[in-house]
Amino acid sequence: MQLGAKQRSYLRYLDIFFSTDATALLTGNRIAVERFAIDASSVTAGTGTTVAVSGMSGSGNKLQLDFGATGLGGLREAGNGFYRVRLDLNQDGDFTDSVDQAFEFYRLFGDVNGDAVVDVVDTNFVTGQMGRSGSGLDGDVDGNGTVNATDRLYTTQQRGKKLLPALLGWLDD
């Protein structure tokens, strides 16, 4: 996720690794991403909201999905969700065959330590990274390249938000 960062506040890139060459998946609409609410009671495959992917690239056993400058789902809490990447491995246009695969992850604005809950631990983590700039900073809640008071404010405002515990068992990351 996000070039190795643990945080789940801002996700622009999603790296997917396979045991074999996966670049053939980049052609023919063989990858689909869907979103469910963070408190969804049902996450039946194919019933979520389709998510646009700005770009896809790959080399060997690695594929990278790029969700654009505003990140997966958009800025701030608009992107909160339980996400499923579906792969049409047999190229028949149906993502639910027994040979097809899917994996799940989440995005939660303010969750900088990747534990599916926004709490004081997240705020304290951001405080510890205040003043840093660059890429891959877990404390950079809004993805602007700098950890500052705004990031701390965001984690404070989002306290109490969490992924529905029943969804935790689905996660592949």
pLDDT in tens, the chain (173 residues): 455 566 688 888 898 898 888 888 888 888 999 999 999 999 998 899 999 898 999 998 999 999 998 888 888 888 999 999 999 988 888 888 888 889 899 999 999 999 999 999 999 999 999 999 988 888 999 888 899 999 999 999 999 999 999 999 898 76
**How far lies 111's CA from each of 2, 41, 79, in Å?**
13, 21, 12
The predicted structure's pLDDT at residue 136: 80
The predicted structure's pLDDT at residue 173: 65
The predicted structure's pLDDT at residue 9: 82
Residue 117, beta-bridge partner list = 162
**C-alpha span between 12 and 2 (Å, rounded):** 6
- Residue 97: CA count within 13 A, CB half-sphere: 11
The predicted structure's pLDDT at residue 4: 56
The predicted structure's pLDDT at residue 160: 97
